[in-house]
Structure 1
Amino acid sequence: MREPGFWHRPSSWIASLLSPLAVLYGAVAARRMRQPGVDAGIPVICVGNYHVGGAGKTPTVLALAKLLRELDERPVVLSRGYGGSLAGPVKVDRNRHTAADVGDEPLMMAASLPVVVSRDRAAGLALARAQDATVILMDDGFQNPSVAKDCCLIVIDATRGIGNGRVIPSGPLRAPLSPQLERTDALIVVGEGSAAQTIAADVASRGKPVLSAHLKPDPASLAALSGTRALAFAGIGDPARFFNTLRSSGVDVVRNTAFADHHAFTKDEIAQLTGDAKREGLTLVTTEKDLARLRGPDGLPDWAQAIAPFAVTLQFDDAAALRRLVTDQLFKARARRLRK
């Protein structure tokens, strides 16, 4: 799905025309968010966002998983598996599953930690716990009430913010902003820009932490692209951010091609991109998430071998503050269960 352009314009007659539907959708979404969820029995940290589309949730989940392991925890990711055909619950196996089975993000994350996919998130709790989990990391699901969350970390892009601030279908918000802010335990602002300043100030005024973070290129990826001219392509929530990250990292992006989020690339599409890159003497480069959708159980097919991945990690400006936040939230979550 491509986001409509009017979602990111301050005023639009289309957004106004759709307002009655947005009011109805928002009322239902807000009421659902108030419903109690199933207690997992162990701490649940949810990484979500206020709106549809990309904001940096997956790099945030991976950064949190790394931190949790440093704290001697055993995190397991619980994901809906958007774009996958398997309803689950199922543990992602990169030697058996493809993105068409479990979704691109779960397949990518499964390279570094256990991931459970379940369309019914509550139904996936038992399997997640069976992986010897001490903490469940929910990838998305902030607005979904089926699982009780101990801590909700919301990711927002500093450049894009929340668009026009309206609820679907008038804008990109998944629910009215007020009930979402009430359930926010911390805000993570990714990148540079001023689009998230108002929301950050609101979260801070409620006594909740606001953390800044930046996407940093993997040194190996950067070294592989050093001195090359690139043709970049991406089918993610915000392709422009990927292209800008490449350029700001010193990669000479001569051409770029954007596809819809979670786009299922065909062999012919990749052949076209590969041919264009070869004719113009360019290196074909994409994201790890896009590359995951091209991967089979045996790895990348021969016709996709020419594609260079550009890996990034999320680095927090104040890593100590993130560590304190997570430690404090884990302590509170376990204390609450002991009191029951």
Structure 2
Amino acid sequence: MRQPNFWYFDQPNLLAKLLYPLSIIFSLVGRISLFFVKPWKASVPVICIGNLVVGGAGKTPTAIALATVLKSKGWKPHFLTRGYGGTTTDPLLVNIQKHSSDIVGDESLLLAEICPTWVSSNRTKSAKLAIEKGANILILDDGFQNAGIQKDLSILVIDGEVGFGNKYLLPAGPLRENIAKGLKRSNAALILGNDTKMIADHILDFTGRKFPILFGSIEPKNIQPQFFEKKFVAFSGIGRPKKFFDTLDKIGLDIIGTFAFDDHHPYSSEDLVKLSTYANRHGAELITTSKDRRRINTNINVAIHELPIYIKWKKTSELDKFFDYLEGKSFVTKA
């Protein structure tokens, strides 16, 4: 689904206000559903990387960044994800050589390049299987609003350029839940990019207490020198395609056209022929995100470049405190 522009206006517009009664119903349904869920407690630490809004805030690259640090400290992390965009529902250990995004989703394929990754709509079942297979720490990529598993550490990822949007709940705004309640259930926030919406100040206003706030940015990596000698047509179907297009401009690539698709868009052969034809007409080549590239399963003979990204931490002292906290809890040892 393409996110409506009015969700990210600084103030709710008329349409948002007209939809507000539906937001109240959405909130009530969410609260009632929690009464029927008893969280399962894992025998290993559980870290949740989530957010309060729908769409792409940077959860998956954050999960990858945390897993990389954990592995360097001797942990054996496994990822748990729903596999959005895929068809599988029963717990499945992702095999990047065998599975496609049609089955396990695009994010799962990226995660599985780093650590064992389990896909299922039932994260509790996945967690039990992961522990059986040797995981001594679990990372939920998304799942903050899923009460089925008890979390030991929840980090909210926030896009610094858009923040919480108009601060209305779905469908009047982008929020999955009330900001204050969500912050109360979390242990920290990670603001990615420039804090143009003064999110850090808003968080402290909402919490009324000292709240750990991490800062970082999504940066491109492994930029090939020959890229600067080419022309490109960029396309993307992520939460905010503009963020990807802005990154390409920032690093100085010659972008002669951009095409935005819905989040998790399943690319067809027809899509790729149209994109390739447009690029060829302008003497350009195609470039997209790593996440989009994992959704291109067709065998069509089209050259498509991808731009990998990583999380660059501004300050890691707060992050180190969380790792020390996890190591001090009475869980199984890392070895």
Displacement, 1:178? 1.9
Equivalent in the alignment of 1:172: 174
* Counterpart Cα distance in 2 of 1:36 and 1:198: 34
Q: CA deviation digits over 1:243-263, x for unaligned, max 9?
A: 111111222222111000000
* Counterpart Cα distance in 2 of 1:205 and 1:325: 21
The one of 301, 304, 307 equivalent to 1:303 is 301
RMSD of equivalent CA atoms: 1.9
Alignment CA distance shift 1:15-1:122 (3 Å)? same
The residue correspondences of 1:1-340 to structure 2 (distance < 5 A) are 1-9=1-9, 10-32=11-33, 35-195=37-197, 196-202=199-205, 205-219=208-222, 221-295=223-297, 301-304=299-302, 306-332=303-329, 334=330
Question: What one-letter code is carried by the residue in structure 1 that aligns with 2:8?
Answer: H
Q: CA deviation digits over 1:195-224, x for unaligned, max 9?
A: 2244343477432210110111112x3434
Unaligned runs of 5+ in 1: none
* Counterpart Cα distance in 2 of 1:181 and 1:164: 17
Displacement, 1:5? 1.9
Question: What one-letter code is carried by the residue in structure 2 that aligns with 1:208?
Answer: F
* Counterpart Cα distance in 1 of 2:206 and 2:139: 22
* Counterpart Cα distance in 1 of 2:79 and 2:53: 21
Tell which deviates more after alignment, 140-149 or 313-322.
313-322
* Counterpart Cα distance in 2 of 1:185 and 1:203: 14
SS at match of 1:96: coil
* 8 A Cα contact 1:155 1:189, kept in partner: yes
Question: What one-letter code is carried by the residue in structure 1 that aligns with 2:313?
Answer: F
* 8 A Cα contact 1:92 1:117, kept in partner: yes
Displacement, 1:27? 2.4
SS at match of 1:7: helix
Displacement, 1:120? 1.1
Aligned length: 330
State the TM-score, normalized to the length of structure 2. Answer: 0.93
Alignment CA distance shift 1:192-1:222 (3 Å)? farther
* Counterpart Cα distance in 1 of 2:65 and 2:171: 32
* Counterpart Cα distance in 1 of 2:120 and 2:307: 28
SS at match of 1:159: coil
Q: CA deviation digits over 1:57-87, x for unaligned, max 9?
A: 0100000000100110001000011111010
Identity %: 34
State the TM-score, normalized to the length of structure 1. Answer: 0.92
Question: What one-letter code is carried by the residue in structure 2 that aligns with 1:19?
Answer: Y
Question: What one-letter code is carried by the residue in structure 2 that aligns with 1:311?
Answer: P
* Counterpart Cα distance in 2 of 1:207 and 1:32: 30
